[in-house]
Chain A
Amino acid sequence: MALLELHDVAVGYGPIRALKGVSISVSVGEIVTLIGANGAGKTTTLKTISGLLNPTAGDVRFDGESILGVPAHQLVKRGIGHAPEGRGMFPGMTVTENLEMGAYLHKGKLTDEFERVFTLFPRLKERAKQAAGTLSGGEQQMVAIGRALMSAPKLLLLDEPSMGLAPRLVAQIFSIITEINEQGTTILLVEQNAAQALRRASRAYILATGEVVREGDASDLAEDPAVRAAYLGIETET
C-alpha cells in the first residue's frame, strides 16, 4: 500500500523551476532513496512533502489523502517526521530540549519516546544536558534523527544524514537507519552518498535538474553502469 504518492509535482522558486513534474511513491515499510547531484531537487522534494513548500502543480497524497495546502506543523500530527538538511539544530537548546521539540504536539510524558531514542543513540543520553550547538556533526545528526522520531512518525524523511560525517560514523548512521526501518518506520532517504543509500534502500529514484531520470530496485540501479559512472563516482570514461 502506498503511504506517500507524488503525482507530477512541480515547484518553483520565483522564475526558477526546481521540480518539473516529479512522481514518486513510497509503500508502507520501505526504505526509498532519492539520489542525484546538488541542485537536482532532492531537498525541494522533501520540503514539498513536509509542507514547507507549496507545489505549483500536481498532487501529494499521504496515507490516502491529499495533503496539498496542509501547513507543515499539521503534517507532523498526521505522521510525517523530517530531519532536515544541515540537521536544523536549535543550537541554544540542550539535547533534551531539542528532543522535546520533536514531540511538540505530544501531550503527556515522553518516557517511551526518550527511551526509544536513547536506545538507538546511547551517545545522546550522555550529552542530554549539553547545548546542541556544541555537539559534533555526528552527534547533531543523531539529535536530528532522534528528534524526528519523537513524534513517532509513520514516514521519516531524512535529508542527507551522512553529510559531513566521518566514514565510520556514516556506516553507523546508515545501520541505525536500517534499524529504525525494521522497527516499522517507513523511510524516504535523500543522499549524496549514493553507494550507501542504494545498499540500504529497497527502491530508488534518481533526480536530475528537477526530474526523475531513473527509478527502480536499488540493487539494479547500483549495478547499472551509467548510474555507477554518474553517481557512484567510479569507472569514469576519461
Chain B
Amino acid sequence: MTLGAIYALIALGYTLVYGVLRLINFAHSEVFMVGAFGSLFALHAIGFDTAHAPPHGLVLVGVLVLVVLAGMIASGVLAVVLERLAYRPLRKRGAPRLAFLITAIGASLLLQELFALRYGRNALAFPRLLARSTAFKIFGAPVQVPQIVVVASAIGMMLALDRFVANTKLGRGIRATAQDPETAQLMGVNINRIIVVTFILGGVLAGGAAGLYGIYVETIRYNGGFIYGIKAFTAAVLGGIGNVRGALLGGFALGLLENYGATVLGGEWKDVFAFTILVVVLMFRPTGLLGEQLGRSRA
C-alpha cells in the first residue's frame, strides 16, 4: 500500500506526459531518482546526516516538508530540462516515435551515470526522520508511522493534482490538449506551454514521491529510479495510460498485488506476479483497466 502510493505518484507523471504527447517518457524514472538526491542534499544542507538524532515536533514537520519540497523542485526542474533539450528538438522535426523512445533511454542512462560518477555507485543513506513505531493495527497487521505519513501525503498530492487538472484554467488546457491538440490551439492554447506545464507537474509529483521514498525507504542509489520507474509505468499501463484516475488505481492495485504475490509465492516472485497480472489484464482490456483518455475521466 505504501509503495503503491509511491508508484501511483510516479505513474501520474507517465500518464500526464503520455496523455498530452502520446510519448512514453522513459527518463521519468531518473526524474524520480534525481528528486530523491535533491531531498537528500537538502537534508545535508541543513546539517542533517545519518548521525543526527531524529527531530521532533514542529522541527520534524518542517524537515519533512523541506524534504518533499526539495525533491519536487529537483525533479520539476529536471523534467523541464529534459523536455527542452531532448524532446523538443525531436518534436519540431516530426521524428518517428521510436526516436523519442531511444532519446528517452539515452537521457535515462546519461542521468544515471552522471550521478553514479559524481556520487558513487553505492547507496547513500538518508538520516532517519520518523521512528518506525507502530501506530495501530489493521486486522493484526502493524501500520507504522512512516507508512501513514507517506500514504497520507501521497493522497494529498493526488487530490491537489486532481483539483488542478479539473478546476484551473491550465488544467483545462491540459485536458483540451490531450483530447484534441489542434482544436485546443484554435481556442488560444499555447501547446508548447502546456507541454512544459505537463512535464513540470509530472516532475513535481515524481519529486514528491521521491521525498516520501527517502523518508520511508531511507536510501537512494544512482539506479534507484529504474525499478520504481518500471513499476510505476506498469501501474500506469495497468490502469490505462493517459488516464489520471487509472494511474491512481493502477498504482495502488500494483502495490497490493505485489504484496499479495510476495505473501503467496515468496518475495522473490512478486515482480513476476505483477507482470503476469499486467499481461492478463491487457489481454482482456487492451487499454488498461480504465481505458486511456486523460480528459474523459474528470480526475
Question: Do A and B form a real pair?
Answer: yes
Residues of A at under 8 Å CB distance from B? 50-52, 71-74, 76-77, 81-82, 84, 88-93, 97, 100-102, 104-105, 131, 133, 147-148, 151
Q: How far is the CA of A104 from the CA of B177 in the complex (A)?
A: 12
- Contact present for B180 and A77 (CB under 8 Å): no
Q: How far is the CA of A73 from the CA of B177 in the complex (A)?
A: 12
- How many residues from B make CB contacts under 8 Å with A? 23
Interface residues of B in 272-299 (CB under 8 A from A): 293-298
- Contact present for A90 and B295 (CB under 8 Å): yes
Closest Cβ neighbor of B183 among chain A residues: A88
Q: A84 contacts which chain B residues (CB < 8 A)?
A: 182-183, 186
A92-B295, A102-B187, A104-B172 given. 18 additional CB < 8 A pairs?
A: A51-B185, A71-B190, A72-B186, A73-B188, A84-B182, A84-B186, A88-B186, A90-B176, A90-B184, A90-B295, A92-B294, A92-B296, A92-B298, A93-B295, A97-B172, A101-B173, A104-B169, A151-B187
- Contact present for B188 and A151 (CB under 8 Å): yes
Closest Cβ neighbor of B180 among chain A residues: A88
Q: A93 contacts which chain B residues (CB < 8 A)?
A: 172, 175-176, 179, 295
Interface residues of B in 134-192 (CB under 8 A from A): 169, 172-173, 175-176, 179-180, 182-191
Q: Closest 8 CB pairs between A and B?
A: A88-B183, A92-B296, A76-B188, A92-B295, A72-B185, A105-B188, A104-B188, A82-B186
Q: Indicate which residue in B184, B186, B297 contacts A92 across the interface (CB closer than 8 Å).
A: B297
Q: A91 contacts which chain B residues (CB < 8 A)?
A: 179, 295-296
Min C-beta distance of B140 to chain A, whole Å: 43
Q: B175 contacts which chain A residues (CB < 8 A)?
A: 90, 92-93
Q: A73 contacts which chain B residues (CB < 8 A)?
A: 185, 187-191
Q: A74 contacts which chain B residues (CB < 8 A)?
A: 188
- Contact present for A92 and B188 (CB under 8 Å): no
Min C-beta distance of B94 to chain A, whole Å: 11
Q: How far is the CA of A101 from the CA of B176 in the complex (A)?
A: 8
- Contact present for A71 and B180 (CB under 8 Å): no
Q: How far is the CA of A81 from the CA of B187 in the complex (A)?
A: 8
Interface residues of B in 218-249 (CB under 8 A from A): none
- Contact present for B185 and A90 (CB under 8 Å): no
Q: A88 contacts which chain B residues (CB < 8 A)?
A: 180, 182-183, 186
A-B contact pairs, 26 of them (CB 8 A): A50-B186, A51-B185, A52-B182, A72-B186, A73-B189, A73-B190, A76-B186, A82-B186, A84-B183, A88-B182, A90-B180, A90-B184, A90-B295, A92-B175, A92-B295, A92-B298, A93-B172, A93-B175, A97-B172, A104-B169, A104-B172, A104-B173, A104-B176, A104-B187, A133-B296, A151-B187
